[in-house]
Amino acid sequence: MGSFLCSIYTGKGQSGMEDGNKVQKQEIHISVRHLVEFLLRSGDIDNRRSAIGENAMQEGGRIHRMLQRRMGSGYHAEVTLKYTYESERYILQIEGRADGIMDGEIVTIDEIKGTYRELKRLREAEPVHLAQAKCYAFIYADQKRLSDIRVRMTYCNMDTEEVKYFYFDFEYKELEEWFRGLMKEYGRWAEFTCDWKGIRQTSIKGLQFPFAYRKGQKELATYVYQTIYHKKKLFIEAPTGAGKTISTLFPAVKAMGEELGDRIFYLTAKTITRTAAEDALRLLRIHGMKFKSVILTAKDKICFMEETECNPAHCPYAHGHYDRINEAVYEMLTSLDNFDREAIEHYAFRHRVCPYEMGLDMSRFADGIICDYNYVFDPHASLKRFFGEGVRGDYIFLIDEAHNLVERGREMYSASLCKEDFLQLKKKAKEEEGRLVYCLESCNKELLKLKRECEAYRIEEYIDPFVKALQRLHGAMEAWLEEREEEGAGEIGQESRRLRREVLEFYFQVSHFLGIYERVDEKYVVYSGFGEDGSFRLKLFCVNPSLNLREFLHKGRSSILFSATLLPIQYYKALLGAEEGDYEVYARSVFAPERRALFIGSDVTSRYTRRTAEEYGKIAAYIYETVKSRYGNYLIFFPSYAFLRQVYACFADCYLKEELIECMLQEEHMDEKAREEFLKRFEEQREKGLLGFCVMGGIFSEGIDLKRDSLIGTIIVGTGLPQVCAEREILKNYFDQAGEDGFGYAYRYPGMNKVLQAAGRVIRTAEDVGIVVLLDDRFLSRTYQRMFPREWEGFEAVTLECIAGRAEKFWKEWK
């Protein structure tokens, strides 16, 4: 089933007549569910109810299958239904799948919905659910020429498996009139879609690459286009300056112009890299491209309120949101092409609707969506209109900084629960009814059994008793939340509202855990362990996210994964869902190698066994000897904050008397303002040299763009190996047992990626000149040199005694 307005095909419709000439009607594909949800929604955003209902919908597959198996031979499950509605300008293909159709004196359409609500509190069918079933009833009655038909709404409690039915009988003429009304209401959206599709495709046909191609750039764009054409995945290792953003976006846009894709998703791990995609689209628009794009912003950042309480009692934008949202969307859709954060906030404020939800709605109509990874890959946060169960489309995924997707994938597909959280919530809810407290205590007891068997950490082979207790708690929390959905409104019930918020937050944690538990397979390790604060956790650890990532990549047509640090590429392909037949390419660097010097200290190391005052002093001396050859702006990267502070203390004692040097230190937990102020210092004109002491893998080692004299060198201390911990050891042992290089997968490859990212801060443009100094003798081993990018072949080994002379020689050559 295609998602709402996601699949629009030209040239497949029937011919019509216009001014005596034959014209091809555009064909629009839309699912029944998205049609009724879009047109018939009304009322408030209310997280006191809707969030729980949505969670039940995501977990309802088991209930569907259970109920369908119970039915007799006259029950037909999962029946695909299609209906073609033709207007003067377009052909609308409405598609859906009825949960069940029952034979009998009167044919019955069965629509099954899972819920955690107590069914005795359910007095009528949800209007949108009924509307979906009515669409199926009309389509089936029309196909079979039935004069009347019945709809049965089946609600099943996910916890108790109790069932409640609602029955509705309809005459065909009644359904036909109602359905024609839907088609009429949808008409303006379909007509706009047809008009815009023609405008967009015409503009793309004539679109040219906006620059003269750099060396290798045309070949890279060709690889991207061919990958999309063949419906494959492409892994690109592209050094800084290769023009990754425009070289992937341009061929993807051209592929859309050739009907090889419906929509582009530009996926990033960090906000700053979204700016590059936005700039590239703006440039293509200047060159004539007509293309609507949206930038999705996290709820907590775009929310108008101080606290994101998404219900009408606390947010005026949630109150009546669904009554106003479609008009807000239509006005913005017909006024702008770039739906960025500022524009969304403007129209949302003007129409008094939620800006976060409005951004999501604009994605329905966008040709390109720029967003975080989680909108596509996270099983609990992805855009269900595009990636829900059974939904896929001709999407093109452009995945920027793809090296980040390994750890992000592990995070998204893992789940953990803390024993202390059960006790804390039990204590706060002690005055409440017994079932909730009893279920919290049951879960705590099961975790206590595991805790008694655990020392530092322990691989758990059997956690079924805990999971069953957790499922009972899930149902109890659902019932408790339903009963109190109206509490806390106005000036009363502050304590109840606070408790409800905490129960709801924990409910989502439990839901996430149970959802991930359904995914646990041989790519997972289940373990328990203690945190630094003594807390006890049980974790479902996705050690290899490849299968989960592949599941979501398969919901699109083609995926282009690119990064400046995708080395070793086979490691990333193995963990990012590559399959036989997928492609890889190493893009050429456009920079002259002589514009960058690469020095490796042969007499220094960051090994734990050598972390002494003498070694810290030597590293401080290396820094001074390097920067004194040319005073300017340098970033110095360390394995940890503790290491940073040790070396800085030595440097300050011995060398800060030098009046031509200033230092800044990255601090832990810097907010966005502090980060911007830190970087701003590097862009100021100054007479003194500025040294930024930073941590590898932190906010300043990736995604920053300091050009020309804003940064003339980086000094990288150590190989970036992650600290030894339970999870790293679990990764090492898992991949060793799988026949891979366990130490490489757990430590060396992630560490080297941090080194490459930090080194990549120096040369950002073809005019830049700079030096990179690696301070660890391990970089001279073949093990590490095999991971070097091609442009690092001309490195030079140095010692503390000669680094100043070698650096001075390099700078003299460039004066």
**pLDDT tens digits for range 323-355:** 999 999 999 999 999 999 999 999 999 999 999
Give the span between the Cα atoms of 601 and 595, in whole angstroms: 20
Which amino acid would we find at residue 235? Answer: F
CB 311 within 8 A of CB 354: no
Backbone CA torsion sign across 670, 672, 673, 677: positive
* DSSP code, position 264: E
Strand 148-157 with 163-171, pairing: antiparallel
Tell me the pLDDT tens digit for each residue of 618-677.
999 999 999 998 989 999 999 999 999 999 999 999 998 766 789 999 999 888 889 989
What pLDDT score was predicted for residue 242? 74
Tell me the pLDDT tens digit for each residue of 726-765.
999 999 999 999 999 999 999 999 999 999 999 988 877 7
Q: Which residues contact 703 (CB under 8 A, 6 or more apart)?
A: 270, 272, 273, 401
Token pair 């919905």 is at which residue?
113
Please report which confidence band the pLDDT of residue 493 belongs to, taking 50, 70 and 90 as the band edges.
low
Which amino acid would we find at residue 454? Answer: C
| Ramachandran category for residue 42: left, alpha or beta (phi over 0 → left; psi -120 to 50 → alpha) | beta
Average pLDDT of the chain is 89
* DSSP code, position 793: T
Tokens of residue 430, six digits: 């002690």
What pLDDT score was predicted for residue 652? 93
Tokens of residue 620, six digits: 């401080």
Residue 505: count other Cβ atoms within 10 Å of its Cβ: 11
Token pair 């994938």 is at which residue?
409
Backbone CA torsion sign across 401, 586, 601, 809: negative
Tell me the pLDDT tens digit for each residue of 211-227.
988 888 899 999 999 99
Give the span between the Cα atoms of 685 and 137, in whole angstroms: 71
**C-alpha distances in Å from residue 50, one per residue of 117, 126, 375, 482:** 12, 12, 19, 11
Tokens of residue 371, six digits: 């967003």
What pLDDT score was predicted for residue 60? 54
| Ramachandran category for residue 145: left, alpha or beta (phi over 0 → left; psi -120 to 50 → alpha) | left
CB 129 within 8 A of CB 111: yes
Please report which confidence band the pLDDT of residue 17 belongs to, taking 50, 70 and 90 as the band edges.
very low
Please report which confidence band the pLDDT of residue 55 belongs to, taking 50, 70 and 90 as the band edges.
low
What pLDDT score was predicted for residue 287? 96
What average pLDDT does the segment 519-528 reach? 97
Give the span between the Cα atoms of 384 and 366, in whole angstroms: 16
CB 715 within 8 A of CB 775: yes
Tell me the pLDDT tens digit for each residue of 394-448.
999 999 999 999 999 999 999 999 999 999 999 988 876 688 999 999 999 999 9
